[in-house]
Amino acid sequence: MELVPAIDIIEGKCVRLTKGDYDTKKVYGDPLEMAQQFEDLGMRRLHVVDLDGAKSKHVVNIAALKAITTHTNLVVDFGGGVKTDEDLVMAYEAGAAMVTVGSIAITDPDRYLGWLQKYGADKLILGADVRNGMVSINGWKEDSDVRLEDFLLRYMAAGTKNVLCTEISRDGTLEGPAIELYKSIMARYPECYLIASGGVGSTEDILALEAAGIPAVVFGKAYYEGKISLSPALLKRDGRKSKIVNCKLSNSKLTSC
């Protein structure tokens, strides 16, 4: 299983929310310092979310992304507010190796499919944020009328490989991930590189996801709150199976995979 720490950003600060509620914001410091801490602990991947961007419907915290990719060798995937061609290019130019896209796949499917064709499946992650079985958009402020099953069916058939699925009701609660949901996705799409997100509150949760055959997991609050430790024993379980972690970086730019 690949272990992917997360840094969520509001107003240039590393934060965590509970169930996507901005009123529950808790600040944990500087994003670059946190990213460097993860790198020092032996992590190679990082998931960065621009929460201001998700709420504003355009990328906001591009400077924080640039600082992380410039001053670390972490392979960063970035999401939040990517709605236009300019947003996407801006993220790549700021050093993101992959970009997570969710809302646009609901509101403008042709644009997402165009990006998939132009940039390739290895450069995009489909964000599938789900609440009560329906895909949520725009920083989880709105619920679409699209069922998760239909959402995945359409875009997996179109060539999507990487899916980040967040069960919103679990996110930030530390109450355990939605393992049955992730197992059902893997059963239907065994070729999917599924990144589970939401609810991780202990090392046991990570091991349970690994036992269920989930390829990767995003975690954040559990680490910040001292619920899990990135010990050598846990890091040895990080299989780093995804192609992106083997990409070569030059001056924080993606050069080859």
Active site residues: 8, 129
**What's the rounded Cα separation, in Å, for the pair 56 and 60?**
8
**Do the Cβ atoms of 12 and 64 come closer than 8 Å?**
yes
Name the burial class of residue 202, with classes exposed (0-12), middle (13-18) and buried (19+) by CB atoms within 10 angstroms of its CB: middle
Rounded distance between C-alpha atoms, residue 127 and residue 107, angstroms: 13
> What are the distances in angstroms from CA 175 to CA 47, 65, 118, 147, 225?
21, 29, 39, 24, 13
